[in-house]
Chains A and B, each alone.
Chain A
Amino acid sequence: MLGPTVLVLLGLSLYPTLYNLYQSFRATELIGPAKWAGLDNYTKLFHDHRFWASAQLTGKFMVVTVAGTVLLGLALAAALDRGSERFRRIVLPIVVIPMAMSPIVVGLIFKFLYNDAVGPINYYVGLLGPHLDNSFLARTDTAIWAVAVVDIWQWTPFAVLVFLAGLQSLPRGPLEAARIDGASGFGTFWWVMLPMIRTELIVVILLRTLDSFRVFDVVYATTRGGPGTASETLSIYLQRVAFNFLDFGYAGAMSIFLILIATLLARPLAKLLQLAAT
């Protein structure tokens, strides 16, 4: 009975990896047949500034979005945990909305909000003081951070709901004890509750890290990697190499590299999930 699943997964997962591997050793030209290229694509990868720039950008994006999501998630989950059950039942269905939406829709809405002619963000910033000529998404120095804000908006609910579930399942005994001993609200949260929800904390950090690593949709919807290459993440660059430059050999080498990193990142997560599930 495991048969069909293993077969499907084998066919559909082993095949891409092997195909990528095969392509990565070939030089694909736009005209003429592909030639054997040895390790050329891999040496190219190591000397490709654009690739390393996009790797660096993705790294920064991962750090900022994961940190933002986790910190906001913690603060909001703690606040919700204090509220009444009735209050939560009204609020949670609203909180969940952003994470259920397609990142494409979220990206397009924010492109609208950021727009320099019709969007409210530049308008209200302008009222407060500095006049802005361009959308935050259209400036080389701010584009990636403007996208990071969108990503944090979309995924904070995820952190909130996971942390809240963790907080709600805590035994009330130690919390009472801390309060009676005179701990402050924040002290109790930081020293007693946080260590007790560390599994939830690690699950959120790992899952968000992996998803940020492969971020594509929201960047495509807001900036498409632009202006220039200012917000070009690894996935966006790979998309360009493969489907705009049609350099399948080089794309293969890049894909192998990304699959390797994702597998390394997924290892601790798989271990943790296995523990959490048993």
Chain B
Amino acid sequence: MSSRLRSRIAQLSANATIAIYLLAVLLPLAWMALASLKTREQVAQLPPLLRFTPTLDNYREVFRESDFPRYFMNSVIVATSSTIVSVLLGFMAAYAFVRLRRKRNDGLLFWILTMRMVPPLAVLVPFFNMMSTLGLYDTRFGLALVYVTFNLPIATWLLLGYIEKIPKSVEEAAMTDGCSRLAAMRAIVLPLAAPGLFATAVICLLLSWNEFAFALNLTGENAKTLPVFLTAWDTQRGINWGPMTASALMVVTPVIVCAAIFQKWLVRGLTFGATK
């Protein structure tokens, strides 16, 4: 067998592997999307009904039977506000780490990372107690505050990597020209770090949008977010698959679009900058 033929076969089997994998990724999603467009009887049919007249009844039922728009707004507000606070505070902290300290403060960074690693359930009772005492239980403000605790460590760590790459000399030049450090930071470092800020914000938004454990235990009806709302379809009497898949699809569509666009940043963020 010639070596060219051999490499051709290797190439083909590699492509076949990828094709099978893509099917494994897409089939469950397609199943969900199709189910969301079927009637209750059609959903239950096996083998699956592939040719049918799609109906939007399930989507109508989601809006009629639940406060979907409110949960959606809760998710949007909690995710964006905690992201903005985390990115701003994280930027300041990362800047201080890089510029104002002679050597890297490893202890503090280790602590920041450890905070990300602690199981949410292990800190939930204290947070539950704190929120009840402060009257923040079941409020968007309270939930956003808790989200800052897991977003801020990541934001600080990620931004550190971006700020380290900005040459000190540019900033120093501005400062010898009479700029204060704060002004130099605002005028020089902030714009140069903008892509990093954006990438970090995407990660924080994604993590907050998908967060479940805190939202489940720290909200009631008022500040309920989308993931908690989704589990409400799972009742003692079983799941009404049509509306469940319809609302699940509405929850993941924005995330899937973002992920496909920002794929590179996503990986970087979720590995804490270990991949370039």
Interfacial residues, chain A to chain B (CB-CB below 8 A): 1-2, 4-6, 8-9, 12-13, 15-17, 19-20, 23, 75-76, 78-80, 82-83, 87, 91-105, 108-113, 117-118, 120, 123, 153, 157-158, 161-162, 165-166, 169, 185, 199-200, 203-204, 207, 210, 213-214, 216-217, 220-221, 234-235, 238-239, 242-243, 248, 251-252, 254-256, 258-259, 262-263, 265-267, 269-270, 272-274, 276-277
- B5 smallest CB distance to A (angstroms): 13
Q: Which 6 residue pairs of A and B lie closest in terms of their CB atoms, listed nearest first?
A: A100-B259, A214-B119, A5-B93, A93-B260, A16-B126, A19-B126
Q: A98-B25, A265-B117 are in contact. Are A91 and B248 (CB under 8 A)?
A: no
Question: Which residue of the partner chain B has the closest CB to A158?
Answer: B270
Pull 13 A–B residue pairs with CB atoms less than 8 Å apart, ordered by A.
A80-B18, A93-B263, A112-B35, A117-B44, A118-B46, A207-B271, A207-B272, A214-B119, A259-B122, A266-B113, A266-B117, A267-B110, A273-B273
Residues of B contacting A82 with CB < 8 Å?
10-11, 14
Neighbour of A200 across the interface among B123, B125, B217, B275, CB < 8 A: B275
Contacting pair B28 A108 (CB below 8 A): no
Neighbour of A79 across the interface among B15, B35, B128, B267, CB < 8 A: B15
Binds A, one of B59-67, B170-178, B190-198, B237-245: B237-245
Whether B188 sits at the interface, judged by CB under 8 Å, is no
Whether B84 sits at the interface, judged by CB under 8 Å, is no
Q: Which of A103, A105, A112, A256 has the most CB of B within 10 A?
A: A105
Q: How far is the CA of A93 from the CA of B130 in the complex (A)?
A: 41
- A242 smallest CB distance to B (angstroms): 5
Neighbour of A235 across the interface among B119, B244, B255, CB < 8 A: B119
Residues of B contacting A213 with CB < 8 Å?
119
Contacting pair B227 A104 (CB below 8 A): yes
Q: Interface residue tally of chain B, by bracket?
A: 35 or more
- Secondary structure of the B side of the interface? helix
Q: Number of residue pairs across A and B with beta carbons under 8 Å? A: 296
Q: How far is the CA of A234 from the CA of B213 in the complex (A)?
A: 13
Contacting pair B255 A112 (CB below 8 A): no
Contacting pair B90 A100 (CB below 8 A): no
- B275 smallest CB distance to A (angstroms): 4
Q: What 0/1 readout, one digit per residue, does chain B (126-157) give for beta carbons within 8 Å of chain A?
A: 11111000000000000001101100110011
Contacting pair B227 A258 (CB below 8 A): no
Contacting pair B119 A262 (CB below 8 A): yes
Contacting pair A100 B266 (CB below 8 A): yes
Q: How far is the CA of A262 from the CA of B121 in the complex (A)?
A: 12
Contacting pair A259 B275 (CB below 8 A): no
Neighbour of A102 across the interface among B244, B245, B252, CB < 8 A: B252
Contacting pair B125 A108 (CB below 8 A): no
Whether B77 sits at the interface, judged by CB under 8 Å, is no
Q: How far is the CA of A270 from the CA of B170 in the complex (A)?
A: 31
Contacting pair B121 A258 (CB below 8 A): yes
Contacting pair A20 B217 (CB below 8 A): no
Contacting pair B234 A108 (CB below 8 A): yes
Contacting pair B18 A91 (CB below 8 A): yes
Whether B206 sits at the interface, judged by CB under 8 Å, is yes
Q: How far is the CA of A45 from the CA of B96 in the complex (A)?
A: 43
Neighbour of B29 across the interface among A16, A97, A120, CB < 8 A: A97
Contacting pair A102 B209 (CB below 8 A): yes
- B27 smallest CB distance to A (angstroms): 9
- A136 smallest CB distance to B (angstroms): 15
Contacting pair A9 B244 (CB below 8 A): no
Contacting pair A112 B126 (CB below 8 A): no
Contacting pair B275 A235 (CB below 8 A): no
Residues of A contacting B15 with CB < 8 Å?
79, 83, 87
Residues of B contacting A203 with CB < 8 Å?
271, 274-275
Contacting pair A111 B263 (CB below 8 A): no
Residues of B contacting A8 with CB < 8 Å?
89, 148-149, 152
Residues of B contacting A12 with CB < 8 Å?
145-146, 148-149
Residues of B contacting A17 with CB < 8 Å?
123, 126
Residues of B contacting A217 with CB < 8 Å?
212-213, 227
Question: Which residue of the partner chain A has the closest CB to B3?
Answer: A179
Q: What 0/1 readout, one digit per residue, does chain B (1-39) give for beta carbons within 8 Å of chain A?
A: 000000000110011011001101110110110010000
- A222 smallest CB distance to B (angstroms): 9
Contacting pair B124 A83 (CB below 8 A): no
Residues of A contacting B90 with CB < 8 Å?
5
Q: A16-B126, A79-B14, A82-B11 are in contact. Are A162 and B271 (CB under 8 A)?
A: yes
Residues of A contacting B113 with CB < 8 Å?
266, 269-270, 273
Having A111-B239, A254-B122, one finds 14 other A-B pairs with CB under 8 Å, namely A12-B145, A23-B126, A79-B15, A87-B15, A100-B255, A105-B251, A112-B32, A153-B28, A203-B271, A210-B117, A216-B212, A220-B231, A243-B124, A276-B273
